Amino acid sequence: MKKLQCATLEGIEAISVSVESTLTKGLPSFTIVGMASTAINEARERVKSALLANDFVFPPKRITINLSPSDVNKNGSHFDLSIALLIALDSSEVDLSSWYVFGELGLDGSVKENALLYPLVLSLANSKSMQKVLVPEESLIKVKNIPNIEFIGVKHLNDAIAFFKGEESAVLRQDTTEIEHPNFQVLGVKYFFHKYYPLDFLDIKGQENAKRAALVSASGMHNILLEGSPGCGKSMVAKRLRYILPPVTADILLDIAKLDSLEGVEPHFTPLRPFRSPHHTSTPASVFGGGSHKAQIGEIGLAHNGILFFDELPHFQKSVLEALREPLEDKKIRISRVNSKVEYPTSFLFVAAMNPCPCGNLLSTSQECRCSEREIQRYKNRLSDPFLDRIDLYVQMQNINPKDEPSLSSEKMHKQVLYSHKRQMQRGQTSLNGDLEDSEIEKYCLMDDEAKRILDQAILRYQLSFRSIKKIQKVARTIADLRSAEVISKIDVLEALSYRKRT
């Protein structure tokens, strides 16, 4: 028996598949077992034609190909090359077990690219489960940015056979690469960041309170809601947040590239985190993912490790807003269908913007609000208290003033975010302040006596929920980090409280 490795996608994660072969005595046949899809079963004809077109003589034996584990559905035409190699090299002494092989075969033996190949390789690279990979030559230009893996590219089935036999061939080798971006190390872990700011906070005049809240939000990945009159800069703040977010590890960088490839976008392999902004008319299936047969990833899954921006927040469907509570709290979402059950990670920064009333002029000093009390109340009631409880920072934007001037640039704000990130990681945290678990809050969010007294008073006065208390502690921890404080003090708690929405 011979075997090598391939993979299949389940949701957005790749599952390694051992492709095993046996050629035994019996009536000549060619069988593929192991819950193979139609595309894999059709591989029999492609493999036969490719081998016969290149002077290979099929032995008069019973050929059985097994795809293990057998209880997982496999799909994709990228299994072709694996199956062909196992048959062609059956009589040789070559050990293929450590190789991952991907490629679709043409009837003449040419090796072609497959749409699933890229997300498969990225997912496996992130899980550290492979080191040596054989791919179609045309895929090398795409996979060359994936670090710490040796890639071999082949144009033809004969090239692959000759390579494994150690003969001269037309194989192209792609050496192991390293990620080349500005970076720093904390406790042995590399963090990568960028230095370009196509959208700059310098473009926003005034709005100092919103800029400060944006800095706190980015430093700890705290959810933020911006409320203000039309044109005051809510969307400008949200879109610029992307460029001052914390640095990423190599694993997160590969995760971002994998989500890009699943969406059909060419991965950029930069530390720039994703930014997803669905329209308020989006259906629940497009936001959360779904499908009648196969659970497809939605906007919140594609926003993983980045920003999910909801503009005109109250205009989103009530069902969408309420369903968003689970991924905001648990950092994951499970989509269940008759044929599949898939769980997606949803660790994103939620950013939202809204007007204060339907006409937008409630907070304006120059425009008259045309809304009745009932209309305003109905508008605000679209956002439930449990949903608002999951927002860390609420900011009421100021009116535009002709005397407003630019202040902090995105570059300066990003430097503060990077500094805050270093402090958090140096404490031994495995996640940023916004994602701390309850046990971690007790460990890392240490408060002095005055800060505790202020928080206790706020709990009694505002009847804060347990969730609100934890969020205030986490936001205060980030504020303390920005001013290089080891212990949370009174001023940190007071600023954190100022960002809570008053009902």
* Model confidence pLDDT, tens digit, residues 368-383: 999 999 999 999 999 9
Dist CA 323 CA 325 (whole Å): 5
Contacts with 291 (C-beta within 8 Å, 6 or more apart), sequence order? 285, 337
Q: State the pLDDT confidence band at 315, using cuts at 50, 70 and 90.
A: very high
- The token duo for 53 is 């077109």
Instruction: Please give the single-letter amino acid code of residue 196.
Output: Y
What pLDDT is stored for residue 94 in this prediction? 86
Q: State the pLDDT confidence band at 178, using cuts at 50, 70 and 90.
A: low
* Model confidence pLDDT, tens digit, residues 186-214: 999 999 999 999 999 999 998 999 999 99
Domains in the chain, please, with CATH? 2-174 (3.30.230.10), 186-412 (3.40.50.300), 436-503 (1.10.8.60)
Pairwise pLDDT comparison (57 vs 486), residue with the higher score: 486
Q: State the pLDDT confidence band at 295, using cuts at 50, 70 and 90.
A: low
Q: List beta partners, residue 184.
A: 191
Pairwise pLDDT comparison (294 vs 263), residue with the higher score: 263
What pLDDT is stored for residue 367 in this prediction? 86
Burial letters for 226-249: b for 16+ Cβ neighbours within 10 Å, e otherwise? bbbbeebbbbbbbbbbbbbbbbbb
In percent, how much of the chain has pLDDT > 70?
96
* Model confidence pLDDT, tens digit, residues 31-52: 999 999 998 999 999 999 999 9
What pLDDT is stored for residue 174 in this prediction? 55
* Model confidence pLDDT, tens digit, residues 327-386: 999 999 888 766 667 888 999 999 999 999 999 999 888 889 999 999 999 999 999 999
Dist CA 355 CA 230 (whole Å): 7
Q: Cis peptide before 69, with omega less than 30 degrees from 0?
A: yes
Residues 41 and 76: beta-carbon distance below 8 Å: no
What pLDDT is stored for residue 173 in this prediction? 54
Count of Cβ atoms closer than 10 Å to residue 324 Cβ = 23
pTM to 2 decimal places: 0.88
* Model confidence pLDDT, tens digit, residues 275-292: 999 999 999 989 998 766
Residue 360: its H or E element: none
pLDDT at 181 over 60: yes
What pLDDT is stored for residue 404 in this prediction? 83
Burial letters for 256-282: b for 16+ Cβ neighbours within 10 Å, e otherwise? bbbbbbbeeeebebbbbbbbbbbeeeb
Dist CA 306 CA 328 (whole Å): 13
What pLDDT is stored for residue 346 in this prediction? 92
Residues 434 and 350: beta-carbon distance below 8 Å: no
- Phi first, then psi: give them for residue 482, nearest 5 degrees: -65, -25
β-bridge pairing 183-186 and 189-192: antiparallel
DSSP calls for 103-169 = -EEPTTSBEE--TTHHHHHHHHHHTT--SEEEEEGGGHHHHTTSTT-EEEEESBHHHHHHHHHT---
Mean per-residue pLDDT, 13-28: 91
Evaluated on CA atoms 397, 380, 467, 460, the torsion sign reads positive
Dist CA 435 CA 201 (whole Å): 25
pLDDT at 503 over 80: no
Dist CA 464 CA 468 (whole Å): 6
